[in-house]
Amino acid sequence: MLDQGRISSVQLFLLLVIAEAATAFLYAPSDVIKMAGRDSWLTSVIPTISGLVVAVVCIALAKRFPQQVFTEYLPQILGKIPGKILAGVYTAVFIHLSSVIMNQSSAFIHVAFLRETPLVALEIIIGLASIYGVYLGIEVIARQNELVWPVWVLSIFIIILLVAESINPDNFRPFLEKGIMPVIKGSALFSSFRGEVFLLLMLYPYLNKKEDVYKSAVYHLLTTAVLLGIITAAIIGVFGELIPVYMVFPIYNLARYISLARFVERIQILIVVMWMFGVIVKLAVFYHSAAIAAANTLGLKNYRLTLLPILAGTIIISRLFYGDHLSLTHFLSHIFPYYGPVVELVIPALVLLIAVILKKGGKS
Amino acid sequence: MIMLLRKIFFSLLVIILLFTSGCWNRREMDTLTVNSALGFDLIETNGETKILLSVLTIKPSQAIGGAGDMAGGGAGQQQSVTGQVISITGDTVEDAVRNWNQCSSRQLFMAHTVLFVIGESVAKEGIGWVIDFGTRNRDIPERALVVVCEGTARDALQAQPEFEPLLSTEVYNILNQNRYFTSKSKATDIIETMYDLLTPGRDVSLAFLKTFVPPEKGSSVRQTPQSIDGKDSEGEQPDHKVPTVAGAVVFRGEKAVGRLNEAETQGMLFIMGEAQGGIISVAFDSTGKNTSFLFRDVNTKVKTVIEKNEISFQVEIKGTGELISAAPGTIDITNRSDIQKMEHMINKEVVYRCRKAVNKAQELGSDPFGFGDKLHRTHPDVWKKIENHWGEIFPHVKVNITADFSVEHSGLIDKSLHIR
Amino acid sequence: MESWENMISFLRWLGKLLKHMTAEPTGALLKPGDPGYQEAHTLTTNLDKNIKIITEIFGLSDDLMVRGMKIGRGKKQVRVAVIYLDPLINHTRLQQGLMHCLQTIDHLPSMGVTTEWLINNALSDGRVIEKKSFVEITDEINRGAACLLIEGLDQALLIRLAEKIGRAVEGPVTENVSKGAHDAFNEDVRTNIALLRKRLHTTRLAVENLQIGELTKTEVKLVYLKGYVIEGLVDEIKSRVRRIRIDGIVDSGQVEELIQDSAFSLFSLLDSTERPDKLAANLLEGKAGLLFDNTPIAIIIPGTLINQIQSPEDYYQRYWFSSWIRVLRWLALLTALLGPSLWIAIITFHQELLPTELLMTILVTREGVPFPGLVEALIMELSLEVLREAGLRLPQTFGQTISIVGAVVLGQAAVSAGLASPGMVIVVALTAIASFVIPTQPLSNTIRILRFPFMLLAASFGLIGIIVGFSILTYHLCSLRSYGIPFLSPLAPLSFGDLKDTLIRAPIWKMLFRPRLIGYREPQRQNPDQRPHPPSRKGKKFIRRRKQ
């Protein structure tokens, strides 16, 4: 273990929620509503089950090597060369996911807020803030997250409370007009977002009380489901199922739409605050995993050395491959649903299988 | 030590990055023109149809009235923020917005837009692109109201507001309060318009903005602004137009097809459940409408009834209110039979207004009430069959309207006066 | 490359300089344990030689008094000498406790005079110790002891007769409260210990003596409650204090810099106070304190951010009022930190967030201001800082003038001259007032400094810049530890039970436990169920009986 930090089960739970919801709450509703229409709020239910499967697999694997992270024990299971290669693949995956998050974060700010500011500049400052957190270690990220959480929950709470009067129950009818299939399709899309619980592979060793890991995972899955379900429901309740299809960031529009007594207005700033605080922590978590994975692959003793190259790499990937909005949404709604499960579930499950067969690691 | 130097170097780099970035997105206040309303027209120039964008801007520099010293002037001086209408043409709206910068040193800042005024020409050709502009532009607030005006929007925007410094705020406030005071016109914001445009079985209805020259010469309010200072009010008699809202314009798809007058609009609002306060006058005993009823807490239920392939709607309106004025020798509120008679007349009047609205709408082939939407929500299977020709079915749909109002109070006196 | 070498050689030179500065002065007295120490530096039996050596050690000190006298009657008289530093001695006590006693000795023991005999039979003053080595003797004389040398004995008696020099106990200067004790520490460490002992009448209060400074030999007292203090904390403090090799310290602030973690942090990781009640309360939680001679400011170890924005008064007033004040203080903290930067961000980036009417007003008042928002804010903030510093250093009589000049010239005149907009003046003034609400000086100073980077960030990225800056700040705060205790505790890492004494203050009867990370050795503070409630039936009966 390259990071000596220790986090509590509550911190792990909060960290996992942010690592998932911080970007999902802004990007996911629009895509899901495109698929599942007015029943989209249901789509937060089914992915919870798939998330649970991912969590169970990851925990089972992690428990075999309680003091090591995923990329550290891969060579022990698969042999030196294949293990290193797979660790390298996961390094690439984490860097890639980081760059997608980075792209999402800067794209929202760019589109909705600072149009003339170059995306690269935004990405650099957001990235610098995040890698500063990574530099300080997982413990600090977890603590920062504890500070971010109240801001986050309070903002969501305020927004939902203020739009509550504009919610039209008619917008939820007719229920399941086109059958259950669209919901399942939407759930499939959501599942890949919700599968980010696979970060447990990289976070498990830091947990101070290992027996609480299931509690953290389950609470995390339930909380995320409730959060995203409520957000999606609020969007549909106010805008119906047709308008959000056209919107890129429906929750942002929702916050803009708030007007209470013509005085509580223009509180879209809450979304930006939530978004920035959340994304900086989320990015830090992914960067941390990427840096540790990279250091393991390269056999470095200090993971901090990899930070600046990774930052540069993510910005370059983000700018080169996701330069326009289309390629990002294409990735999120067409590639990620397949790509996600593979790295989140299939590979860890195979590794677990091999570990069980070869009897590597302690008993899970 | 070298670590420290590296740190210092690194932070210096960051600071330099920050400093050089200083001018990317900055817009100082004094480089902006804030606008309060946007008007949309179509005009023909050289055989080409172009968009004429009229912008009602707020002129801040006039607000201090040229008073040099701000230290002394601030308190006593009345801040008379005035508007100014400037029109620009362009191929698209955004083109027009950018063309603005060719004739103005200040950037157009639209985040404080409260009113979209759609000219007749645009309303007839289709309002889709206006709504697209309103929702796509990140500056324009979603709560901005959309109204259709008589003639061109450019002329309408030049009407003189009487109670507020700006026309836009005046119209905005009139429309927003309307629901609770008269219920004779409808406040529709951009999102609601978009919702009506997109939702099947629902048509757009927007408030109608009318401008006229007021006949009251010399009234304290309806005078030119200069006369407030008491300078020269004798010579100038008002010839400015003033704004008013009158009824609603209904659309079929994105195109306007006709107007509902005030009574019809009120009927429409009753059916939509948006009428929350207003006056209904009825003729009690003697001729002429002589008794007024103020309704409140109106609750409307629309039920879909399907019998033998025939679709009909049952509209039930329930409400309470009070007697607010009565001509001498008419109603005696202490008498139960009088109340019942009164309530019966009110119900009849409400049903009449609603009926007129429905008839007019069916005549125009537009469904601003959302009957089709209601059908969709309650009977999705039926809707599926008729989804594509709702436009043809709607004019022949039967709508049954019942009203049930009750008189609760009668103000500070009960009986109407008995003049000897 | 050459510059690198230059730099390195500069660093070497710097290192040498430092080494030179902290090295022992050559020719100084040898330390105990050094070879040859025993022979050269202990007393002899020859009185004259002893006196000579001591006077030589003190050199040309004018204030060194040597008074020879004879004790006893008749032939068996013994020569003694009393040596002391004149300004340090309380003369009454010298007269009564020493001189008078010596002069009234009637007969000397037949066995010869011993120090033991003198202590038991002759000297009335209690604070007497025996010393042999010159180092110790001169040290004691330096601290205000009178040295009694006796002919034929290689031991000296040192009677501590120091005059208390300095102020009496006065009220606090920086940490004022309206309700609560009004005494504060002063420059005399003995008085300070007394003030503390007065509040903690327990044998568990340990006062350990440490000493810093090769020349100043400043007395430092480490105080803590045995059995309550964080495990290992005392040893850690001692080792860090003992590591200090310095010519001298004159204030606790210097030591603070030498013993705090994260030397480069802008935050002060140790709390300091001049209030004995605050120190006592902190000791009760399980912290330790350092008291310094010649410094009225005590250091509390470990420090937390929460502790720095709390005032002792919070505990003396009703809990709902204190909670309200604490919420206000948090708001003030945020205002002081982010006020100008938020203003800059809003007026130069996010005008859409202002209500239209306010935007109009600002537009009107900003018309004609020649500077962009950032420059305007910097000018105003800098002039305010200068004003503040000027007000602080000036004699009190000028304070009034400064505030008038500041208010009129910088506020009113800058606006009417068109140099600043009224909005900016309001924001800057509000920020200044908000920063006065922060109850401790170090935190207030940190906030003052941090305001400027935030303003730069706001001017280049607007609100995004502020949030990024804030994130970096909180990351930094989360990473800080003070003697092992996270600086942000109990907020991060969150200990939910301790939140009752952070953003709000729960009623005293609710504060059942000590802070989890600090007071874990004796978690419980008080009896549960101490909330005042109406008397039970039994109690009512009792009251009734009493009334009859």
Assign C185 a pLDDT band (cuts: 50, 70, 90).
Answer: very high
Q: Is the pLDDT of residue A284 over 90?
A: yes
**Topology given in CATH for the domain delimited by B262-420:** GMP Synthetase; Chain A, domain 3 (3.30.300)
- Rounded to a whole number, what is the distance in Å from the CA of A177 to chain B's nearest CA? 7
Tell me the chain C residues in contact with residue A280 when contact means C-beta distances shorter than 8 Å.
Answer: 467-468, 471
Assign B239 a pLDDT band (cuts: 50, 70, 90).
Answer: low
- Residue B68 is predicted with a pLDDT of 40
Contact call for C471 and A276, based on CB within 8 A:
yes
**Which residue in C151, C94, C145, C143 sits closest to C123, CA to CA?**
C94
- Rounded to a whole number, what is the distance in Å from the CA of C419 to chain B's nearest CA? 12
Q: Is the pLDDT of residue C535 over 70?
A: yes
Nearest CA in chain A to C469: A129
- Residue B62 is predicted with a pLDDT of 44
Nearest CA in chain A to B374: A170
Contact call for C365 and B70, based on CB within 8 A:
yes
Q: Is the pLDDT of residue C504 over 50?
A: yes
Among A87-96, B228-237, C95-104, which stretch is predicted with the lowest mean pLDDT? Answer: B228-237
- Residue B182 is predicted with a pLDDT of 83
Among A67-71, A102-106, B105-109, C30-34, which stretch is predicted with the lowest mean pLDDT? Answer: C30-34
Mean pLDDT, to the nearest integer, of A6-18? Answer: 90
Closest CB from C349, C415, C456 relative to B26: C349
Tell me the chain C residues in contact with residue B70 when contact means C-beta distances shorter than 8 Å.
Answer: 365, 415-416, 418, 422
C321 vs B229: which has the higher pLDDT: C321
- Residue B286 is predicted with a pLDDT of 67
- Which ranges of A113-137 would DSSP assign to H, the alpha helix? 119-136
Average pLDDT, whole number, for chain C? 84
**Which residue in A74, A72, A71 sits closest to A83, CA to CA?**
A74
Give the number of beta-carbon pairs within 8 Å between B and C. 85
Contact call for B191 and A239, based on CB within 8 A:
yes
Subunits next to C (3 or more Cβ pairs <8 Å) are A, B
Measured distance CA(C134)–CA(C132) in Å, rounded: 7
Contact call for C492 and A146, based on CB within 8 A:
yes
Q: Under an 8 Å CB criterion, which residues of C touch A? A: 349-350, 352-355, 461-465, 467-468, 471-472, 474-476, 478-479, 486, 488, 491-494
Contact call for C475 and A147, based on CB within 8 A:
no
Answer whether C480's CB lies under 8 Å from C267's CB: yes
**Which residue in C97, C95, C105, C94 sits closest to C71, CA to CA?**
C105
Closest CB from C351, C418, C461 relative to B29: C351
Closest CB from A113, A114, A147 relative to C474: A147
Tell me the chain C residues in contact with residue B4 when contact means C-beta distances shorter than 8 Å.
Answer: 264
Q: Under an 8 Å CB criterion, which residues of A touch C? A: 8, 10-11, 109, 113-114, 117, 121-122, 125-126, 128-129, 132-133, 136-137, 140-144, 146-147, 265-266, 269, 272-273, 276-277, 280
- Residue C27 is predicted with a pLDDT of 43
Phi then psi for C300, rounded to 5 degrees?
-110, 130
Element (H, E) at C131: strand C128-131
Percentage of chain C modeled with pLDDT above 90? 23
The region, left, alpha or beta by phi > 0 then psi within -120 to 50, assigned to residue C115 is alpha
Closest CB from C7, C359, C374 relative to B112: C359
| B2 contacts chain C (CB < 8 A) | no
| B70 contacts chain C (CB < 8 A) | yes
Paired residues of C301 in beta bridges: C288
- Residue B21 is predicted with a pLDDT of 55
Residue B328: asked if its preceding bond is cis (omega within 30°), the reply is no
Mean pLDDT, to the nearest integer, of C342-350? Answer: 89
- Residue C280 is predicted with a pLDDT of 93
Contact call for C352 and B139, based on CB within 8 A:
yes
Q: Which amino acid is at C157?
A: L
Rounded to the nearest 10 degrees, the angle between the axes of helix C463-479 and helix A269-298 is 50
pTM: 0.87
Q: Which amino acid is at C233?
A: L
Answer whether A216's CB lies under 8 Å from A13's CB: yes
Domain layout of chain B by residue ranges: 30-65+77-225+236-260, 262-420
Tell me the chain B residues in contact with residue A114 when contact means C-beta distances shorter than 8 Å.
Answer: 24-25
Rounded to the nearest 10 degrees, the angle between the axes of helix A181-194 and helix A213-239 is 130
What percent of the residues of chain A are helix, what percent strand, and what percent coil, each to the nearest 5? 80, 0, 15
Mean pLDDT, to the nearest integer, of A33-41? Answer: 84
Closest CB from B24, B138, B380 relative to A118: B24
Tell me the chain C residues in contact with residue A144 when contact means C-beta distances shorter than 8 Å.
Answer: 471, 474-475, 478, 492
> C350, C357, C474, C498: which to substitute to probe chain A, counting the most A Cβ within 10 Å?
C474
- Residue C35 is predicted with a pLDDT of 54
Tell me the chain A residues in contact with residue B376 when contact means C-beta distances shorter than 8 Å.
Answer: 174
Measured distance CA(A349)–CA(A358) in Å, rounded: 14
Contact call for B25 and C465, based on CB within 8 A:
no
Measured distance CA(C207)–CA(C201) in Å, rounded: 13
Answer whether B83's CB lies under 8 Å from B225's CB: no
Domains and CATH numbers, chain A: 9-358 (1.20.1740.10)
Nearest CA in chain C to A132: C472
What digits encode the pLDDT tens for the residues C8-40?
A: 777 777 677 666 655 544 444 555 555 555 556
Nearest CA in chain C to A131: C472
Tell me the chain A residues in contact with residue C472 when contact means C-beta distances shorter than 8 Å.
Answer: 128-129, 132
What digits encode the pLDDT tens for the residues C213-260?
A: 888 888 899 999 999 999 899 999 999 999 988 888 888 889 999 998
Average pLDDT, whole number, for chain A? 87
3-class SS at B135?
helix
Q: Is the pLDDT of residue A122 over 50?
A: yes
Assign A70 a pLDDT band (cuts: 50, 70, 90).
Answer: confident
Measured distance CA(A80)–CA(C399) in Å, rounded: 75
- Residue C203 is predicted with a pLDDT of 92
What digits encode the pLDDT tens for the residues B38-50?
A: 999 988 888 888 8
User: Cα angle vertex C28, ends C25, C30, to 5°?
Assistant: 125
Mean pLDDT, to the nearest integer, of C307-323? Answer: 90
Query: For residue C498, what are its two tokens?
Result: 């301790």
Contact call for B18 and C415, based on CB within 8 A:
no
Q: Is the pLDDT of residue C43 over 90?
A: no
Answer whether B367's CB lies under 8 Å from B390's CB: yes
Contact call for B378 and A173, based on CB within 8 A:
yes
Contact call for A276 and C493, based on CB within 8 A:
no
Measured distance CA(B172)–CA(B189) in Å, rounded: 10
- Rounded to a whole number, what is the distance in Å from the CA of B241 to chain A's nearest CA? 28
Q: How many CA atoms lie within 13 A of B214 on its CB side?
A: 19
- CA C246, C252, C254, C258 torsion: positive or negative? positive
A243 vs C15: which has the higher pLDDT: A243
Q: Which own/partner pairs from C470-476 qualify as long-range (CB within 8 Å, at least 24 positions apart)?
A: C470/C338, C471/A129, C471/A133, C471/A144, C471/A276, C471/A277, C471/A280, C472/A128, C472/A129, C472/A132, C474/A144, C474/A147, C475/A129, C475/A132, C475/A133, C475/A136, C475/A140, C475/A141, C475/A144, C476/A132, C476/A136, C476/C265
What digits encode the pLDDT tens for the residues A211-242?
A: 888 898 999 989 988 888 899 899 999 988 88
Q: Is the pLDDT of residue A28 over 50?
A: yes
Answer whether B324's CB lies under 8 Å from B411's CB: yes
Residues 6+ apart with CB under 8 A from C277: C180, C181, C199, C312
**Which residue in B333, B236, B245, B255 sits closest to B293, CA to CA?**
B333
What digits encode the pLDDT tens for the residues A176-204?
A: 877 788 888 888 777 877 778 888 888 88
- Residue B238 is predicted with a pLDDT of 53
> B98, B195, B385: which to substitute to probe chain A, counting the most A Cβ within 10 Å?
B195
Assign C539 a pLDDT band (cuts: 50, 70, 90).
Answer: low
Tell me the chain B residues in contact with residue C348 when contact means C-beta distances shorter than 8 Å.
Answer: 26-29
Tell me the chain A residues in contact with residue C463 when contact means C-beta distances shorter than 8 Å.
Answer: 113, 269, 272-273
Q: Is the pLDDT of residue A152 over 50?
A: yes
Closest CB from B1, B34, B112 relative to C11: B1
Percentage of chain B modeled with pLDDT above 90? 4
What digits encode the pLDDT tens for the residues C262-273?
A: 888 899 999 999
Assign B76 a pLDDT band (cuts: 50, 70, 90).
Answer: very low
The CA-to-CA distance between both ends of chain A, in Å, stands at: 19
What digits encode the pLDDT tens for the residues C68-90?
A: 888 877 777 888 888 888 888 88
Measured distance CA(C244)–CA(C256) in Å, rounded: 11
Average pLDDT, whole number, for chain B? 80
Contact call for B79 and C416, based on CB within 8 A:
no
- Rounded to a whole number, what is the distance in Å from the CA of C471 to chain A's nearest CA? 7
- Residue A268 is predicted with a pLDDT of 85
Contact call for A173 and B25, based on CB within 8 A:
no
